[in-house]
Structure 1
Amino acid sequence: MKLLKTIALATLTFALFSCGGDKQTDSIPSGSTEAGATAADESTADAAKSPADYDPNRGLGKHDNVDVSKFDPAMAAAGKKLAEVKCTSCHKTTDEKLVGPGWAGVTKRQTPQWIMNFISDPDPMIDVDPELQKQLELCLVRMPNQGLNDTEAREVLEYMREIDGAK
């Protein structure tokens, strides 16, 4: 039993360190609406993270409307590169669980807004979403905030869409 606890602790420690990317403060592209964000905008975004504001179709966060009407292969390729660095140590592109759940079918189960809000800032959603809390019980590791900016999160979403067959 002691060996089993040691192995579980070692696995958890590895998962926490391998999943946590370095936080980058990349600038938002000049065409983005976030380029002119102010402190007031940030406090408004923080207020939108309260549990009372939780919407299971969009999650918690600033992403209200994500346009996925056209598939962007270049964006998906950039998302794949990001995922290889920040995500695939915990997630497989199949439905198989690694540390976290597999990504296959995620864009069929969740809205683009929900995915963007979750991968941009997972903590507030994990705290209030009953489905995420069930996942946490299964996976035993809380998804770390990878520090993705809006552009990076959108690229990862596009890669997830490609996994699910978007063309």
Structure 2
Amino acid sequence: MKLLKTLGLATITFAFLSCEGDKKTDSVPTASGTETTATAETTADASSYDPNRGLGKHDKIDVSSFDPALAAAGKGIAEVKCTSCHKPTEEKLVGPGWKGVTTRQTPEWIMNFISNPDPMIDVDPELQKQLELCLVRMPNQGLADNEAREILEYMREIDGAK
């Protein structure tokens, strides 16, 4: 019994420590393994924050036409990486529901946030309020640029884009 308690405690400790991360680095898969690099977005402060664009490399996203193939791919990615915390409705699960997000935020803001949420959570007062409500910081899912764009298109579909 004592062994089971010790193993259980060790498992919980390992799980907790493995969730901790350095917010100032991103892991980038490479052919030789995983390389960690600091990004400019993670060092930004509140004075350089643009509430319409967020923080990150995504700028001027063309959403003039709806692409159902991108939306379908985005739905598939969301089912794997997002739906454990977000619903496609207005209902809050762990995080807020996605219904209406594309009417409240710009495409650039959405892509920058889902691509690298940590620096934006650190400086955006609205995201800090969401964090107080949800009590869980959105993890960086390590999305590639094309995956972030596909999820954005799925969010647009949820909001009625055709």
TM-score by length of 2: 0.76
- What is the letter of the counterpart of residue 101 of structure 1? P
- Contact 2:57/2:112 (<8 A) preserved: yes
Quick one: distance in 1 between partners of 2:119 and 2:28?
20
Unpaired segments of 5 or more residues in structure 2?
Answer: 1-11, 20-26, 32-36
The Cα shift of 1:47 comes to 5.4
- Offset from partner CA, 1:3-56 (integer Å, 9 cap, x none): xxxxxxx9xx8xx97xxxxx77499xxxxxxxxxxxxxx87x615851232000
**1:88 alignment partner, one of 78, 83, 98:** 83
- Offset from partner CA, 1:81-131 (integer Å, 9 cap, x none): 000000000000000000000000000000000000000000000000000
**1:68 alignment partner, one of 57, 63, 72:** 63
Corresponding residue of 2:135 = 140
Corresponding residue of 1:112 = 107
Greater RCO (Cα-Cα under 8 Å, separation 6 or more): 1
The Cα shift of 1:64 comes to 1.3
| 1:159 match: secondary structure | helix
- Contact 2:61/2:107 (<8 A) preserved: yes
- Contact 2:42/2:118 (<8 A) preserved: no
Distance 1:26 1:88, change over 3 A: farther
Identify the structure with the greater strand proportion: 2
Distance 1:26 1:107, change over 3 A: farther
Max radius of gyration: which structure?
2
- Contact 1:48/1:62 (<8 A) preserved: no
Distance 1:110 1:91, change over 3 A: same
**2:158 alignment partner, one of 143, 146, 163:** 163
- Contact 2:55/2:112 (<8 A) preserved: yes
Unpaired segments of 5 or more residues in structure 1?
Answer: 1-9, 18-22, 28-41
Identity among equivalent positions (%) equals 74
Q: RMSD over aligned Cα, in angstroms?
A: 2.7
**2:40 alignment partner, one of 29, 42, 46:** 46
- Offset from partner CA, 1:119-146 (integer Å, 9 cap, x none): 0000000000000000000000000000
Quick one: distance in 1 between partners of 2:60 and 2:144?
16
- Contact 1:24/1:148 (<8 A) preserved: no
TM-score by length of 1: 0.74
